[in-house]
Amino acid sequence: MTIFWLKRPSQLCILIALVVISVCTLYLTSCDNFSGPARGIEKKDTTTIIPAGPCDTASVSYSKTIQPLLDKNCISCHSDAGGNINGVNLSAYNTVRRNTIGNRIVFAVQGSDGITQMPFGSRLNECEIAQIRSWVRQGALNN
């Protein structure tokens, strides 16, 4: 059988090679779904998801609520290792406390009052924002 444009045997070789490559590619990529953690799941986990159930803003504490939240979302830029961007260090109570003066940290996570929305390039979920606000209102205690 001849295909009309196949004038030379080398062209047939190229055609066969292309078919083989396509089949191999399909075979290899299809394996992704069968073993190991599904790709994309880890990515999804980094987005802020509002926790199930009501948002607890009453019993927020620095050690259990605020610092873990800052560790997760802020210290990559606001710590000694992260370069203390804009002179802001959020890795320990004393320097975090300094950023509660004038509600600076609250305005930052709200993206309000002329302060750039933080985390830079994204936004905490509303529960997390409310928890920071509540902790500052309760006196920004080291609790």
Residue 118 touching ligand HEC (CB under 6 A): yes
Cα separation, 136 vs 106, in Å, equals: 8
Least distance between ligand HEC and beta carbon 76 (Å): 5
Residue 74 touching ligand HEC (CB under 6 A): yes
Cα separation, 135 vs 143, in Å, equals: 10
Least distance between ligand HEC and beta carbon 17 (Å): 46
Residue among 48, 61, 62, 77 that touches ligand HEC (CB under 6 A): 77
**Residue whose CB is less far from ligand HEC, 17 or 120:** 120
Dihedral over alpha carbons 125, 129, 130, 134 (to 10 degrees): 150
CB contact at 8 A, 96 and 67: yes
Chain position carrying tokens 């607890």: 56
Residue 91 touching ligand HEC (CB under 6 A): no
**Residue whose CB is less far from ligand HEC, 104 or 138:** 104
